[in-house]
């Protein structure tokens, strides 16, 4: 597969709306820009895990073990549903400025949320398995190229979700988001629950 095609494919995968996007958006709107950026960093760190086991060939073994794959799938689904329900139940109409929102929890919590949301997603695992099966040759002579592509994906995730966090906490959008904060929170919550449910029921 041509490297330009791989680069474009990676970009499309990253910017397409998914559970990671919804989580970064929810944390940014609820807790401010810093929370969104730390969530984005957590997502990027999770990509390191996917790259590591893809290059080691562990992802192939997992994909061939139905029980182990189901355990990962259900764990990911449960975590997404938990985050979604929490967002729905905690949604409110308060019009406190986003940047002035009280940071009631440690940044490590947002880091962990982003990390777990991505690392427990078997779709991401299978994506990296399919991509690295094209990048890594059987004779293992191009490991450095595969590593370079992995670093590209890490940076791409961090940049994109960092932009999402900054965009949705900007002063331009802030006044409009505040008016619909409860509905936006509920929409994000329903989105996470939906992603989790679909992940759980998909065979």
At residue 101 the predicted structure's pLDDT band, cuts being 50, 70 and 90, is very low
Provide the strand spans (E) within 16-119. Answer: none
The mean per-residue pLDDT over the stretch 151-169 comes to: 91
What pLDDT does 117 receive? 92
**Residues making up the chain, counted from first to last:** 203
CB atoms within 10 A of CB 56: 10
- pLDDT over threshold 80, residue 57: no
- Given a contact cutoff of 8 angstroms between Cβ atoms, the answer to whether 193 and 70 are in contact is no
d(CA 114, CA 126): 19
Identify which of 27-36, 82-91, 118-127, 186-195 has the greatest average pLDDT: 27-36
Of 47-51, 136-140, 161-165, 173-177, give the lowest mean pLDDT range.
136-140
What pLDDT does 160 receive? 93
- pLDDT over threshold 70, residue 141: no
What pLDDT does 185 receive? 74
Provide the percentage of residues in the chain whose pLDDT is more than 90.
22
Q: For 95, list phi and psi in degrees, rounded to 5.
A: -105, 35
- pLDDT over threshold 80, residue 138: no
Which is more confidently placed, 123 or 114?
114
What pLDDT does 51 receive? 86
Domain boundaries, the chain: 19-90+104-201
Which is more confidently placed, 59 or 13?
13
- pLDDT over threshold 80, residue 179: no
Q: For 18, list phi and psi in degrees, rounded to 5.
A: -155, -165
């Amino acid at each position: 597969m041509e490297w330009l095609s791989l680069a474009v494919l990676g970009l499309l995968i990253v910017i397409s709306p998914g559970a990671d996007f919804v989580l970064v958006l929810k944390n940014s709107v609820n807790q401010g820009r810093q929370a969104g950026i730390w969530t984005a960093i957590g997502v990027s760190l999770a990509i390191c895990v996917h790259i590591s086991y893809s290059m080691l060939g562990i992802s192939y073994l997992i994909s061939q073990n139905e029980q182990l794959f189901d355990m990962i799938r259900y764990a990911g689904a449960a975590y997404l549903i938990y985050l979604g329900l929490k967002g729905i139940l905690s949604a409110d109409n308060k019009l406190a400025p986003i940047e002035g929102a009280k940071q009631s929890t440690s940044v490590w919590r947002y880091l962990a949320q982003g990390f777990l949301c991505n690392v427990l997603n078997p779709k991401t695992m299978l994506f990296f398995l399919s991509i690295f099966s094209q990048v890594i040759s059987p004779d293992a002579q191009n490991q450095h190229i595969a590593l370079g592509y992995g670093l590209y994906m890490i940076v791409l995730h961090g940049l994109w979700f960092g932009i999402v966090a900054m965009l949705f906490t900007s002063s331009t959008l802030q006044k409009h988001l505040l008016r619909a904060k409860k509905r936006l929170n509920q929409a994000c919550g329903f989105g996470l629950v939906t992603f989790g449910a679909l992940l759980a029921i998909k065979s």
